[in-house]
Structures are given as C-alpha cells and as structure tokens.
C-alpha cells in the first residue's frame, strides 16, 4: 500500500458543545484527487479547516508527511510544540475558499507574488518570476497587471489557486471553490484543477459538483453528521454505494 501523504485519526471537533466532527479517520494518497462530498453541515469544511490549522481540533491526530499534530483527551503537549507544528502544517498546504480573498488594492501579480516574500523570505524577483509562471499556468498571463475588480469571478478564483500554488504546498485544499461562481464560470476553474491532477498534485476538494467528482476524483469520501460514512473509487460510490445515507444523498444528483 502506498504511504498516505495525509492521515487523520479519531478527529473530533465541537463548537459551543455541539459536535461537528465525531471521530473522523481519513487517508489521502499522494498525487491523487480526493473529493469530500455530503450534505451541508456534515463537517466537510470544518475538516479542511482543522487540516490546515484554521480551527483547533479537540481530539485526535493529523499527520502530513513527517509532521504530526496530536491532541489527546485529558493530556496536552507543550503549547510551544503544538503551535510550531500547526504552523509547519499550514505551510505545507495551500487552501482555496469559496470567497476569493484577493487583496483589492494589489494587482493580480502582486496577490500571487507577495505571500512567498512575506512568509518564506523568497526574493521579490524570484517570487515575481514564479508568479508570472503560475498565472500563465492558470490562463491569466495577460491579466497579471489587472486588479481583482477587473477580473471575472472565475478569473479571481484561478488567481487564488495560483496564489496558493506559489507557496509550493505538498497538498492543495479546496472548500467549495466553485459555489460562488455563475454556472458559466465553473468549468474554467474545474479545468485548472483537472490539469493539476494530471500533473500529479495532491488535492482534497470539498464539492457539490458531482459530475466533476465522478469523472476526475481518484477517491470519493462521503461524510454525514460528522463522520466518514464510506469511501472508495468513484464508480463504486456512485454506482453501488453501500450505505443508505450515501444512496439517499446521491439520488438527488442522478
């Protein structure tokens, strides 16, 4: 078995006493696209936020490569160690949200080039050259000097993907990256993700785009009520799901 690049074990998270993640176990294989699907409120986005350290989980462990962050009920490691590991985990992954979160006062080029300079101390010249390469990669080479307000929603989301890639992450995470887009703009963003998949970049995608999940994903993970209900290859999950909750969810899209 190929060693997983991400391994989540027993992950639990509550907000104000309400359990959102109820002991999630998840393995993500390198160079694969894993699609997280399930009803709204089932914990998919919270799982991503815990993976990248935006939400602090209550119990369990997350391993990304050689980095491991663990929280045990009734125990605690040194806060300094926890904080350092969480920071390293964040630096090893890139994330793209529903909202584009581009700085409106910066050009598209500066939005992509600035983070590596600030976070990784990359030289401005090197960061700019890499940003131009990435903008070409996502089809925005001619928009480098445009400001976000001058771009369509699909173009802004592609710029956000380039910005995440500029940090050279081991894994790309996406939280409903097309949900804020007009239907006509969805495909241009999904096409970038397909190309990254063809290049072997590890991606974890929270999505309601079932056609994309079925056609592109290497693995489907169905979540419900804060747990992983079942997972497997797309054809198996879509054609013959084992759990009634998966069948009930998917019949809305078939």
Flag the least confident range among 42-56, 62-76, 167-181, 202-216.
62-76
What's the pLDDT score for residue 1?
55
Q: Does position 73 have pLDDT exceeding 80, yes or no?
A: no
What's the pLDDT score for residue 91?
83
In 3D, which of 127, 98, 91 has the Cα closest to residue 110?
Answer: 127
What mean pLDDT, rounded, does the chain reach? 92
β-sheet bridge partners, residue 138? none
Indicate the angle between helix axes 108-120 and 153-165, nearest 10 degrees. Answer: 20
Q: Does position 34 have pLDDT exceeding 90, yes or no?
A: yes
Token code pair at residue 108: 């598209």
d(CA 236, CA 157): 31
What's the pLDDT score for residue 67?
87
What mean pLDDT comes out for the span 118-138?
95
Is residue 85 very low, low, confident or very high in pLDDT (cuts 50, 70, 90)?
Answer: confident
Is residue 89 very low, low, confident or very high in pLDDT (cuts 50, 70, 90)?
Answer: confident
**Side-chain-side CA neighbours of residue 12 (13 Å):** 12
Strands 6-15 and 18-28: antiparallel
Q: Does position 83 have pLDDT exceeding 80, yes or no?
A: no
Q: Does position 82 have pLDDT exceeding 70, yes or no?
A: no
d(CA 147, CA 142): 12
What's the pLDDT score for residue 75?
52
């Amino acid at each position: 078995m190929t060693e997983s690049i991400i391994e989540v074990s027993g992950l639990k998270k509550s907000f104000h006493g309400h359990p959102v993640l109820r002991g999630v176990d998840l393995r993500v294989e390198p160079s694969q696209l894993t699609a997280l699907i399930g009803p709204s409120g089932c914990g998919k986005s919270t799982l991503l936020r815990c993976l990248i350290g935006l939400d602090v989980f209550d119990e369990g462990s997350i391993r990304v490569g050689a980095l491991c962050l663990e929280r045990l009920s009734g125990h605690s490691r040194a806060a300094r160690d926890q904080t350092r590991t969480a920071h390293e985990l964040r630096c090893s992954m890139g994330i793209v949200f529903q909202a584009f979160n581009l700085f409106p006062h910066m050009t598209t080029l500066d939005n992509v080039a600035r983070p590596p300079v600030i976070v990784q101390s990359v030289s401005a010249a090197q960061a700019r050259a890499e940003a131009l390469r990435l903008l070409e990669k996502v089809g925005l080479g001619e928009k480098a000097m445009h400001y976000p307000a001058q771009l369509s929603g699909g173009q802004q989301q592609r710029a956000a993907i380039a910005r995440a890639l500029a940090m050279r992450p081991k894994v790309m995470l996406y939280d409903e990256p097309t949900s804020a887009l007009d239907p006509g703009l969805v495909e241009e963003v999904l096409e970038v993700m397909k190309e990254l998949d063809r290049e072997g970049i590890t991606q974890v995608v929270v999505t309601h785009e079932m056609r994309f999940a079925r056609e592109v994903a290497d693995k489907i993970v169905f979540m419900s009520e804060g747990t992983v209900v079942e997972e497997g290859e797309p054809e198996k999950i879509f054609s013959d799901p084992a759990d009634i909750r998966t069948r009930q969810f998917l019949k809305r899209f078939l």
